[in-house]
Amino acid sequence: MNWKNVNLERGYEADQPIIDPLNFDTLLLEIHCNLTEINEATVMAQFEEDLQSRITSAREVMQNNLKNIVKHANKERNKQ
C-alpha cells in the first residue's frame, strides 16, 4: 500500500486507520525499552512522545492524500 497515494476505491486501503493505535502493551514495551528510570513523569513523557509521533505521521498521511480525499468525497456526493 502506498501511504502517499491511498486508493480510496479499494476497500482495504480505505479501511486503514489514518492514525496508528496506541495500546497499553505497546506503551509498556516502549517504557521497558526506552526508560532507564520508570516513574510517573518519565512514563507520561514516553506517552506524549509516542502520541506526538502518531500525530505527526497522521498529518503526513492526510497531507499526502488530501487531494484524493476531496476528489473521492465529491465523487461520492455527486452520485446521489
When the pLDDT of each residue in the chain is averaged and rounded to a whole number, the result is: 95
| Residue carrying C-alpha cell 489514518 | 18
Summarize the confidence of residues 64-69 as an average pLDDT.
96
Rg (alpha carbons) of the chain, rounded to whole number: 17
Does some domain include residue 4?
Answer: no
pLDDT score for 79: 86
Q: Is the pLDDT of residue 80 over 80?
A: no
Does some domain include residue 2?
Answer: no
Does some domain include residue 31?
Answer: yes
pLDDT digits (tens, 9 = 90+) for 4-43: 999 999 999 999 999 999 999 999 999 999 999 999 999 9
Does some domain include residue 30?
Answer: yes
Does some domain include residue 64?
Answer: yes
Number of H helices, E strands in the chain: 3, 0
Does some domain include residue 5?
Answer: no
User: 18 lies in which domain range?
Assistant: 11-79
pLDDT score for 56: 97
Does some domain include residue 1?
Answer: no
Give dist(CA 54, CA 3) in Å, integer.
14
Summarize the confidence of residues 49-56 as an average pLDDT.
96
Domain count, the chain: 1
Does some domain include residue 52?
Answer: yes
